[in-house]
Structure 1
Amino acid sequence: MDTEITADTPIAVDDEQARDYGGWDMLWTWFGAGVNTGSWYFGGVAAALGMAFVLQSALLWMPLLMIPWAAIAYLAWRRGVSTVGVTVPALGTQGSRLTGLGQFLVLSGWPSINTFIAAISLSFVFKAALGWPAFGEPGSTEPMIIGILLTAIAQGVVSVLGHQAIRYLERISAALLIVLGGWETYVVFTHWDLARIMAFSLPNAGGQTWATIADIAFGLGWTWAQVGDFARLGRSGRGATLGTWLGVNLGQGWFIVIGGLGVIGVALTSGHYDPENSDPSSTLAALGLGLVAFLVLVFSTVSTNVTNIYGAGMGLSAMVRSRPRSALLGVALFQLVLCFVPLVYGSFLDYFMNFLTWVGGFFVPLWTVVLLDWALRRGAGYGRVGAFNAAGLISVALGLLAFFIVDMGMPGLEAQITASLPAIVVTALSYFVLTAGGAKLRG
């Protein structure tokens, strides 16, 4: 049975709410989301290729990378639907449930990274206040468990309150993080001049290449799957698109630079670069920034994670057709469990890189199909869409297969051209061929 694509499409959850997000609301929401511990950690990992590469990533490559992602925001605003609703024309009304599943998993997984970093900060707070061992010291597992539990519960409660609570929390968080980021930047430049920082280099770039970092960048940027869930609330297309794009790039771009500066600063002090210490908490501890900095970092983590949990709830709601509040409660409990996964992982650095690479492997072909479908349909309208668009689903599957073949089976090739670019090419060619002449294969 075909379904007409309108703002009332069932997959558009919460569409009865007024569009009450202005351009500044979008900018602040995404700036607050962008200034997160993941962006900071990415900057520390990218620092293996030098500060010049970190600056290029933050100021040039990431903003360019986020243009297609911002186009998803525009489509969500234009159609008045959630992220899942944006994928209905490309995947079908039932096929788009796959997007809901992906959104649910990735945005439930992101808090596990950010919460672990926040728990590291809390472990230093516990050490100063109670004398407990801090992260990395013998006996620190129990303080880490307590830190994870406190952070996960706090962000779960706020996320269930809905997008209005998130909006105000993001504003407060962004203001605090501006102060913290400026403080760390001042400390770094007080100890080392720009020439020493820019001259920092590692033999063989610590085993990283521009391509391996680029794959992580796709995972960092394109997995903001809740983009449509907030963009549909925009008062104008310009605010929903430009505000979203500017906000996330100003936020994550700045913290990528902050992360690179901090890790290089620590490396200049200690005499060696350790990517395992790229997390903000370890950097703050090494730079001696104190307890206030740790508490700000914990607060900002909660702020960032509530947007992820909200997006995961919207994805789950669209996937199982449940009430948003019930879905948010389910996600809040699920992320509580996931937040403990990094604690049993062998290396947090490996967990971070593998997570971003694997989830990027799904969203790279997905957004490619959605945007190509939009480009091919422009001017033709959408009309009625069937339950499954086989062309879209097949193309996503082939793109995902291409990504993992290169990522897991051809490490030498990935180090030269990324796994993401071959996935984009395979996905686009597949969808173009399967929809040639306007004929679509539908299940």
Structure 2
Amino acid sequence: MRFWSSWHMDHTGIRPVSPSERTYGFFDLFWNWFGDGANASSWYFGGLLALSGIPFLFWNTFFWTPLIILPWATLAYIAYRYGATTVALARPALGVRGGDLFLGIAETVVQVGWTTVTTYIGSASIVQIWKGSGFSSGPGHTDTSFLVLAILLIGVLQGVVATLGPGAIKILKWISSLLLLVFGGVETYEVLSRWSLSQILSYRHTAPAFSPVQLVDISFINIWTWLQVGDFARFSRTRNVAVWGSWLGIWFGQAWFVLVGAAGVIGLGLASGQLSADDSDPSRLMARLGLSGIALSVIFLSSVSVSASNLYGAGMALLALQNRQGKSPNPTRSLAVVSAVQILTAFIPLMFTSFIQYFIAFLTTIGGIFIPLWSLVLADYLFNRKRNLDAQSLFDPSFHSRYWGRGGFNPAGFFALGVGIAFYYTVPHFFPQAVQMTGVALPTILWTGGMYLITLRWMGEGTVCALEKDAEEEWELQKRGEDV
């Protein structure tokens, strides 16, 4: 299938995919998520984990991260089973209108935000490497002007790829992931050839930048905010492709770059006798290792690859909002809009005193939205709906839908979501000592899911049926009005 013809599939944002449109095999989806996981922010996170010591680095990478990915991979399964986009997954829990409006807006904003992170890291790294390679800016040129040019270059390229659709992204993922294997392998070899594995493993942390529970919370946010999970999983040929291709791809890609970043930071600490969280910056790390050319290739590829995927998710979310307003879906226009916006937002980190300050502020903000949201969606699917959805109603935007709720909104879902978001943001301020022991992600998951099920119980065991009855009555009233 030619990649420019794949836009026919993108209208599946308003209908389930057909069997002929399920074109992603295991390695297609694996490389898609491997390329997303093997990105500059994973490298950066690896350096932060290294500051907490080797035991916790391994514990987080090989125990916590695979477990954290499992609920996220469940979303991939639901999307595959019903051929649904990420936005559609929220309709049963929030209502047809509520799911489209809340997740459509949130996914658009957050995906553009993630693109801002990767674009800025990539652009800043290119400037750092350019300087470290001995090139002169020349008269009349500053680092800022080169940063602007780098942002424009990466922004335009990844916007073009995203606009071409999932077929073009699939090709890019294959190419970039295989090249990342080569370049990342060179980096891994260079790090291990400079410092023995025994030296790295014997490292003991002295001044971690974050506590272990904070780092686990960041791991939750890193995984659960890959919002395009449904947008790609729906194209999977089989259930195993959707679940294991997503789960293994994101884990392998992220784990590898986390370990490379950690090894590099520890190596620099062994050489200089001093460790710093700033050494997590991939460009600074590679420049100090004398690998500027390799770093340029890796960071450029990972930035474009990851951001094209993020922009596609943002475009599909914006497409759902267009459909909600009754407009004719136009994928090209939606992606053109988000591609233009992400170029502008890439300059936002310049307003902060340090990138790590912006990065943590961004993660904290989006974590408070999507950890409660996915907790709600999974609780609704697994425990309330008993792992069964009405596929026809899932894509029906009218009063006929079983998920219409009341006025298009599910009151119990929005109540639990609001309580979960409030819990995430307020508990660390009122109970800081408890949060230092448990973190905020896991308690938020249990609180949100539990509150949703309790609210349904309080509204009556037949709440779902009652809401569906309300939708039928509302449709009958509208029909009578039209007859008059």
Taking structure 1 as the reference length, what is the TM-score of the superposition? 0.92
| Alpha-carbon distance between aligned partners in 1 of 2:156 and 2:38, rounded to the nearest angstrom | 21
Give the number of equivalent residue pairs. 432
After superposition, the C-alpha distances for 1:167-212 in whole angstroms (9 at most, x for unaligned) are 0111111111112222122122212222321232333523x21111
Distance of 1:235 and 1:305 partners within structure 2: 25
Any idea what the Cα deviations from partners look like across 1:276-324, whole Å, max 9, x if unmatched? 2312111111111132331232122101110001011111111232422
- Equivalent in 378, 382, 391 of residue 386 of structure 2: 378
Which is further off, 155-164 or 66-75? 155-164
1:439 is aligned to: 463
Partner residue of 2:218? Answer: 216
TM superposition shift of 1:377: 1.1
Shift, 1:117, TM fit: 1.6
After TM superposition, give the deviation of residue 411 of structure 1 in Å.
Answer: 3.6
Give the counterpart of 1:199 among 184, 197, 202.
Answer: 202
Distance 1:410 1:11, change over 3 A: farther
Between 160-169 and 349-358, report the one with greater CA deviation.
349-358
Distance 1:284 1:81 in 2: 41
Deviates more, 1:288-297 or 1:367-376: 288-297
Distance 1:380 1:47 in 2: 42
Q: Is the 8 A contact 1:12 1:84 kept in 2?
A: no
2:193 aligned partner, one-letter code: T
Pair 407,282 (structure 1): closer, same or farther in 2 beyond 3 Å = farther
Q: Which residue of 2 aligns with 1:318?
A: 320
Three-state SS of the structure 1 residue aligned to 2:24 is: coil
Once the two structures are superposed, the pairs formed by residues 15-414 of structure 1 within 5 Å of their partners are 15=17, 18-97=21-100, 98-127=102-131, 128=133, 130-132=135-137, 139-206=142-209, 208-321=210-323, 322-375=329-382, 376-378=384-386, 381-382=389-390, 384-386=402-404, 387-414=408-435
Any gaps of 5 or more consecutive residues in structure 2? Answer: 1-8, 324-328, 394-401, 471-484
Relative distance call for 1:283 and 1:331 in structure 2 (3 A) is same
- The 3 A distance-change label for structure 1 pair 159 and 408 is farther
Return the offset for 1:379: 6.4
In the alignment, the residues of structure 2 paired with residue 116 and residue 255 of structure 1 have an alpha-carbon distance, to the nearest angstrom, of: 18
CA displacement, residues 94-152 of structure 1 (integer Å, 9 cap, x when unaligned): 0102111121111101111111221123214533374129xxxx952222222122111
Which amino acid in 1 is paired with 2:72?
Answer: W
Distance 1:388 1:26 in 2: 33
SS where residue 87 of structure 1 aligns?
A: helix
Question: Relative to structure 1, is the Cα distance of residues 8 and 244 closer, same or farther in structure 2, using a 3 angstrom cutoff?
Answer: closer
In structure 2, distance between residues paired with 1:10 and 1:238? 21
CA drift of 1:14 comes to 8.2
- Conserved? CA contact 1:115–1:339, under 8 Å: yes
Q: Match of 2:220, as an amino acid?
A: F
Question: 1:90–1:369: 8 Å Cα contact kept in structure 2?
Answer: yes
Within-5 A mapping of 1:411-430? 411-430=432-451
Deviation at 1:67, TM superposition (A): 0.2
* Structure 1 SS opposite 2:193: helix
Does the CA-based 8 Å contact 1:124-1:291 persist in structure 2? no
Q: Deviations 1:252-285 (Å, cap 9, x if unpaired)?
A: 1111111111111122222222212312111111
The answer to whether the 8 Å contact 2:180/2:301 transfers is: no
Tell me, yes or no, if the aligned pair for 1:93 and 1:385 is still in contact at 8 Å: yes
Q: Sort the Cα spacing of 1:284 and 1:209 in 2 relative to 1 into closer, same or farther, 3 A.
A: same
CA separation of 1:18 and 1:381: change in aligned 2, threshold 3 A: closer
Change (3 A) 1:196 1:71: same
CA distance in 2, matches of 1:277, 1:306: 27
> Alpha-carbon deviation of 1:409?
4.5
**What TM-score does the superposition give when structure 2 sets the normalisation length?**
0.84
Paired amino acid for 1:132 = S
Amino acid at match of 1:373: D
Residues 8 and 339 from structure 1, CA distance in 2 versus in 1: closer, same or farther, beyond 3 angstroms? closer
Structure 1 residues 434, 346: closer, same or farther in 2, change over 3 A? same
Which one is further off, 315-324 or 299-308?
315-324
Using the TM superposition, name which of 167-176 and 272-281 deviates more.
Answer: 272-281
Q: In the superposition, relative to structure 1, how do residues 13 and 142 fare at CA in structure 2: closer, same or farther (>3 Å)?
A: farther
Q: Which runs of 5+ in 1 are unaligned?
A: 1-6
* Conserved? CA contact 2:113–2:345, under 8 Å: yes
8 Å CA contact 1:51–1:261 kept in 2: the answer is: no
**Alignment check: 8 A CA contact 2:128 2:284 kept:** no
* Structure 1: distance between partners of 2:15 and 2:145: 40
User: CA–CA distance in 2 between the matches of 1:201 and 1:359?
Assistant: 32
